[in-house]
Every structure is written in C-alpha cells, then in structure tokens.
Structure 1
Amino acid sequence: MLHKSTTGLIVVDIQGKLATLVHNSDALISQTKKLIIGAHQLSLPILWLEQNPTKLGPTTPCLAECLTPNQVIEKYSFDATGTELFNHAVQQSGIKQWLICGIEAHICVYQTAIGLLQVGHQVEIVADCVSSRSEFNKQLALNKLLGLGAHLTSVEMCLFELVADCKAPEFKAILQLIK
C-alpha cells in the first residue's frame, strides 16, 4: 500500500516537441497534471526531471506551472540515477516508494525505474501517465518493469490509496480533481 509519509512522485521528461508526439499525448498531459496537483494536495515530495533541455526543450508549460520553479533536475543519462543531483534529492527526501510518470516509457521511465529498484526503492508506474511514441514500446516497457519488480497503478487508484479515508482532510479536493 502507498502511504503519504513514504511516497513521492517523479515526473520524467514531459518536455518539448516530444511531449506532443507520444501516443495519446493529450490524455498523458491531462492525467499527469491531475497527478501533480494531487501530489501537492497530499504534500508528497516531487522530483521533476528534464532530459537535455537545451536540445529537447522545457517541460510542457501546463505541467511546469504546477511544479516548483527552479527545482527541475537537468539530466543527460537516460537513467536519472546516473545524475548526482537526482540521487541526492532521492536520499534527502527519505522516501522509499516512488510513483513514476513521464516519457518515454521504454527509455527514461524504464531506465530510471530500474535504477531505483536496483538500489532498493519500491516503484509504481502510473500507467495512465506514461507514454512512448508507440503504444507497443509503452506496453513492452510496462511488461518488463512488472517482471523486474515494479508495480502499476493509475492516477485515480494511487491518489485514493494515498487518501485512504473519506474523512481525510484531502478527500474532497482529490475527489473534485478526479471527477
């Protein structure tokens, strides 16, 4: 089970033109925005990644506006655990369960998830918040990740799992977000 005190969110590389070219990009961006807002309402730590932003461009504006300015972690390795600043942020957070969303599922999301699993973290891929240019590559990545110990969830499933109780102070805000 996910718990607010032990869960964080990693937003992987939803940036530039590529964000508009992935399979079901509009749905990906819409669902990811809900996830980010929900994570804020639940006070989860959020790590925000951009792959080579000089070449690929910045994070999609409607998502960037929901994220803390000047907190983006720039990376060049596909696996974010190959970036010292990311590893430091993970360690500083004290979090062991990570929700991961982003693009591309079969490259940066996949390799970052594997990197986190290899150092003992629990990983849940938010399946309606990951994509690749082809649906085939997304499904391939999800299948491989399941076989390697990651789990799948959805925006609605993980947010309500984190709320846990309809009497929780965040319940109404999360309910409105999902509707």
Structure 2
Amino acid sequence: MVEQLPDKLGPTIPEIADHLAHLQPIPKNSFSCYGEPAFVDALAATGCRNVIVMGIEAHICVYQTVRHLLDKGFNVEVIADAVSSRKAHNKVIALDKMQQCGAALTSTEMVLFELQGVAEGERFKQLLSVIK
C-alpha cells in the first residue's frame, strides 16, 4: 500500500486502512509508485511479476505507476471499478491509455473470484458475504 504525501494529504481513510492493518504504508511524493525506492524494493522482495493495481487519480498516479511497471516487464491488471479521477472523462482516458500500453482491465468481483479459484472453504464463504 502506497500513500501520496500522507503528511500533507492525510493517511488512507480508516474504511480501507483497517482492512490493510497488516501492511506498512509506503509514503511517496512521486506520482508513480515506481519512483519510490521503498516501493521498488518491497515489490522486488515479493518476487512477483504480476501486479494488480487500484487507486486514486487514475490519470495521474495510477497511470504513471502502470506505465512504469509495464516498462519494467511486469504483467499489470488494473481494477477498473477500483480507480477514480476527479473528472469522469479523465478516468475513461486513463483506462484507455493504460490498456493501449499493455495493461489488462478487470473488475473487483472478477479479480476476487480469480484469486479465490474454487467455490469452497472459509475464504470463499467470506467472499460471498462481501459480494452479496
């Protein structure tokens, strides 16, 4: 989890942060997360080459992060209904441009079920309680 200028813009709202309490937010001042060495190091430490992206200001921070991840050879999926922009047309343009650059678009529900994989177990029951 990355936060843009948390000392000036404030931290992630509790409705989101409470679900991510196990993560230490990485503060950044560059628009792209990839401009923050702590983010690059944390991502490298996972060994993952597939990145799912969501966030605020699709046409600025999300777009620049996605572009840099793609340039570095990552496979990127953007959760289209989990990104926003202050003006609707900026979000539309950003999603289109990210897709043109090679990012795949997905939805929250689609990625949740893809990560779940099977219709069984406690996690599946928890997922259903959130989705319904």
Q: Please classify the TM superposition score into its range, dividing by the shorter chain length.
A: over 0.9
User: In structure 2, how many angstroms separate the alpha carbons of the residues matched to 1:163 and 1:67?
Assistant: 18
Aligned to 2:93: 140
Look up the equivalent residue of 1:79 and give its one-letter code: S
The alpha-carbon deviation at position 84 of structure 1 amounts to 0.6
Percent same amino acid at aligned positions?
A: 48
Instruction: Measure the CA separation in 1 of the matches of 2:78 and 2:11.
Output: 23
1:41-80 equivalent positions in 2, closer than 5 A? 48-68=1-21, 71-80=24-33
The residue number in structure 2 matching 1:88 is 41
Structure 1 residues 65, 118: CA separation in 2 closer, same or farther (over 3 Å shift)? Answer: same
Trace 1:16-35 onto structure 2 (pairs within 5 A).
none
Structure 1: runs of 5 or more not aligned? 1-47
Secondary structure of the 1:71 match is coil
Distance of 2:61 and 2:120 partners within structure 1: 37
Corresponding residue number in structure 2 for 1:164: 117
Point out where structure 2 has 5 or more consecutive residues left out of the alignment.
none
Which residue of 103, 107, 122 maps to 2:56? 103
Which 4+ runs in 1 deviate beyond 4 A? none
Cross-structure match for 1:119: 72
Measure, in 2, the Cα distance between the counterparts of 1:85 and 1:132: 25
Q: Quick one: distance in 2 between partners of 1:122 and 1:56?
A: 30
Moved more, 169-178 or 94-103: 169-178
Q: Please state whether the residue corresponding to 1:65 is helix, strand or coil.
A: helix
**Whose helix proportion is higher, 1 or 2?**
2
- For residues 88 and 124 of structure 2, the distance between their equivalents in structure 1, rounded to whole angstroms, comes to 33
2:131 matches 1:178: yes
Structure 1, residues 65-95: CA drift from partner, whole Å, max 9, x if none?
1112670000010011111100000000111
**How far does residue 115 in structure 1 lie from its aligned partner after superposition?**
0.8
In 2: Cα distance, 1:131 partner to 1:168 partner: 33
Secondary structure at 1:130's aligned position in 2? strand
**Displacement, 1:120?**
0.8
Letter of the aligned partner of 2:41 in structure 1? H
1:169, distance to aligned residue in structure 2 (A):
4.7
Question: Counterparts of 2:14 and 2:124 in 1: how far apart (Å)?
Answer: 27
> Aligned residue pairs: how many?
132
Distance 1:69 1:174, change over 3 A: closer
